[in-house]
Amino acid sequence: MSDNSNPYGGYGGQMTAQAHFGGAPATPAAPVALVKDTTTAGFAKDVLEESRNQPVLVDFWAPWCGPCKQLAPVIEKVVAEEKGRVKLVKLNIDDHPSIPGQLGIQSIPAVVAFVNGRPVDGFMGAVPESQIRQFIDKVAGPAGADQAAEIEAALAEAGTLLAGGDINGAAQLYGAVLQADPDNAKAAAGMGECMLAAGQHERARELVTGMPDDTGRHRKSRQCPRRSSRWKKPASSAIRPRSSMRWRSTRTTTKRA
């Protein structure tokens, strides 16, 4: 077994797990800035392009805006704690007025969330930390949703590989899922099928009987899904006209005279 940390690999010297979930890289990656300033010239790259990787929150602010100074440390703290679920880009509207003009922003602070190259939601005012977290969950999905989707996709792929006779490939994926989620009944059932196909009957029995009681149905059938509906990204588009923007709240805001 090439990975000694994987308790589900190594059967017959063939089965290992090398998949990663939750965006974990195989090798350490360089630190990524989660908060940055942008300009009119850099907006397309920093916001539109980057929002195809994860939601990007754009904080429109100005030096003279009191509520902006209240919001800034709170939203930056929350974004940092989210560890990459979203990024925050800050745009000074005094220095770069054209983009907020296109979005129809008249009061600040204003925060607009971009996903797949277009604005999808926003709020105005120095809102509390709890409301910022709720907003991030709305635009990025609940915490852990990305990993759950990756696991479902891996299970579907493993089922396809197993049905096609690729026992080793299927076992690698099932093993990786079990490392991420040890109580995943579908992965345990699939791994059991791989062991049976490889002649490891006793090991299969040990794995299946070791699962929690509430997964008895899976232990009996040793079945795994062969299909999975995959989420499809919506088509990207340019910034919407100001008339189409809708704001969620109108708490404390500042209008420039």
**Whole-number percent of the chain with pLDDT over 70:** 66
Residue-wise pLDDT for 174-231, tens only, equals: 888 888 788 888 888 888 888 888 888 888 777 766 665 554 444 443 333 333 334 3
What local confidence, expressed as pLDDT, does residue 77 receive? 94
Q: Which of 57, 65, 171, 188 is the catalytic position?
A: 65
Contact 74, 115 (CB under 8 A): no
Rounded CA separation 108/65 (Å): 7
Find the mean pLDDT for residues 31-53: 90
224 is catalytic: no
Rounded CA separation 15/167 (Å): 8
**Whole-number percent of the chain with pLDDT over 90:** 37
Tell me the CATH number for domain 145-221: 1.25.40.10
Per-residue pLDDT for 239 more than 60? Answer: no
With cut-offs at 50, 70 and 90, classify the pLDDT of residue 170.
Answer: confident
Residue 163 is encoded by which pair of tokens?
């049905």
What local confidence, expressed as pLDDT, does residue 253 receive? 53
Per-residue pLDDT for 121 more than 80? Answer: yes
Fold type of domain 35-143 = Glutaredoxin (3.40.30)
What does the DSSP 8-state code read for residue 87? E
Q: Where are the domains of the chain?
A: 35-143, 145-221
194 is catalytic: no
Q: Which of 19, 34, 68, 78 is the catalytic position?
A: 68
Residue-wise pLDDT for 57-116, tens only, equals: 999 999 999 999 999 999 999 999 988 889 999 999 999 999 999 999 989 999 999 999
Contact 184, 151 (CB under 8 A): yes
